[in-house]
Amino acid sequence: MKRASGIVLAGVFLVFAVGCGSAQKRAQEFMAHEQYEEAARVYERILSRKPGDPEAAAGLAEARQGILGKRLIDVRKARTSGNAADAATLLLEIIAQERSWNIRPKGAAIFTQEEETAAAASFVLEALRESLKAEKPLRAEADLRRYEPLFQEKRAAEFGDLRLKVIRQGKAECQRFAKENYGGKPYAGEFVLRFCAFWDESPRLAGHQPGEKVRSLVQAVAVSGSVENLPQDLQLLIHDSLNASLKSGPWYSPEGKLPLEIALKGSWVLDEQRIPIQLVHSYQEDEKYVAYEDVSKQRQVPYEAVETVVKPGGGIETVARVKYRTESYTEKAPVERTRSVERSFPYGAWKITQRLRLGLEGSGRLMERAIQLRLSDESRAEDTLSEIHNPAIGLKPKPAAAIPDKIQWVKERESRFGRELASQLGTIWNEQYCGELPEGGQAFIARIDRAYQCLKLPSAQAAPPRWIQDFYQVRFGLGYREAEELLRTPGVRKK
């Protein structure tokens, strides 16, 4: 048995060795054709099956060197064709890959990387100087963080000097913002405080009162009126749905001062009838019965045979003898059998017919804009209901599945009514706060206040208006999302 196990293990090892040998050969073919990424993948698979294989490890290291070499050539091609920004981005990806692999380029690739790093660093430093010249410290800080790996070995001092200039300029811009009056512009004030905190500044802003925001926000929807025939608990659910819709949008604040009243009216119809009916349940039942069937039997039948025998004293004589033979025959006999018989079981049930109808109307005003809510829906259904349970014959209770639960039906319609309010509130917010402001004396403060008020709207956050994108690009040198992502990171003194 041990010998057989040894033969099996030897066979598995032989198959594995042949497989690895075949993979090694395939990797070497890729290397010969300078298909380094394909070769690296083959070597990685070999090492996943046979960790520490020296030949595969050496092959993988050589393949990765080939990958770096080819990518560095791509960097040079991008730079010499005039795409310095693309070249710098490719170089950053190469440096990140080198760190991941824990390797450095060898041979001619060393000089290529040094040259391209120097060229990319020069491009970045020039871009930083341009950002400082244009007084866009936020864009400069974004570039500093992005391209920092290019300066960790050489020109670090020059990079550090520029960083100090960027910080000084960011602080100076904060102080310029702080000289404005933020009375009536609470959203702008909040932005400037965040901007200044990013540069490790904490200015006092004239006129800034964060509580001013609540003057144009709503604490709750005040619902007046009622829906005819609708139970009180379901009436209250309409109130809850409208307030939940308010809280899901930009208008809500727990301290809101702006009134919002919705005058509600409508009607509820529930017409449900139950008529007793008789149903019949058909089922199969086993029944025993006796059948007379031909049964095969055997019997012994005597017959006379004449035999010739030798007498004791000599001579022969003929003797008659009685013998028996087996004879088969059939006869009718009773046999017990089972057959399946269809039975019927009458039982009582209910035929249910249901009609539901809900009509809702709501009206109100917010910021001098009209709110008109309407919902009308009806359901008609019919089904049967039985509560009889008789497991012996396979009869189970039958629910009236086609009849909707009236409470749940009303809740779903009330939720739709609430979503209509949310939609109209969003439209009013968009019209009120997402339109572009004309240029003016306090253009920056007014525009940043308008932008951040607009961006409270979820749809505006998902797709900011074009004027906000352009405003950020012109004022900060970054798109809205890029600027916001940067401001959410630790500031220059908190990194």
Q: What local confidence, expressed as pLDDT, does residue 495 receive?
A: 45
Q: What local confidence, expressed as pLDDT, does residue 440 receive?
A: 56
Q: Which residue has the tokens 């960097």?
A: 75
Structural tokens at position 225: 């009126």
Residue 172 · residue 201 · CB < 8 Å:
no
* Sign of the C-alpha dihedral computed for residues 216, 219, 225 and 231 taken in this order: positive
Q: What local confidence, expressed as pLDDT, does residue 18 receive?
A: 42
3-state secondary structure at position 436: coil
264: CB partners within 8 A, 6+ apart: 223, 224, 225, 226, 227, 238, 360, 361, 362
Q: What local confidence, expressed as pLDDT, does residue 20 receive?
A: 56
Q: What local confidence, expressed as pLDDT, does residue 493 receive?
A: 67
Q: What whole-number distance in Å separates Cα of residue 147 and Cα of residue 93?
A: 11
Residue 381 · residue 402 · CB < 8 Å:
yes
Q: Which residue has the tokens 């209910």?
A: 350
3-state helix, strand, coil in the chain (%, to 5): 50, 25, 20
Q: What local confidence, expressed as pLDDT, does residue 133 receive?
A: 95
3-state secondary structure at position 222: strand
Low pLDDT (below 50) residues in the chain: 1-18, 441, 494-495
pTM (global) more than 0.85: no
Q: What local confidence, expressed as pLDDT, does residue 62 receive?
A: 93
Residue 75: CA count within 13 A, CB half-sphere: 26
Residue 254 · residue 213 · CB < 8 Å:
no
* Residue from 358, 440, 441, 334 nearest 406 by CA: 358
Q: What local confidence, expressed as pLDDT, does residue 2 receive?
A: 43
Looking at the DSSP bridge assignments, the partners of residue 292 are 334
Q: Which residue has the tokens 């393949």?
A: 63
Rounded to the nearest 10 degrees, the angle between the axes of helix 36-49 and helix 54-80 is 150
Largest distance between two CA atoms of the chain? 161
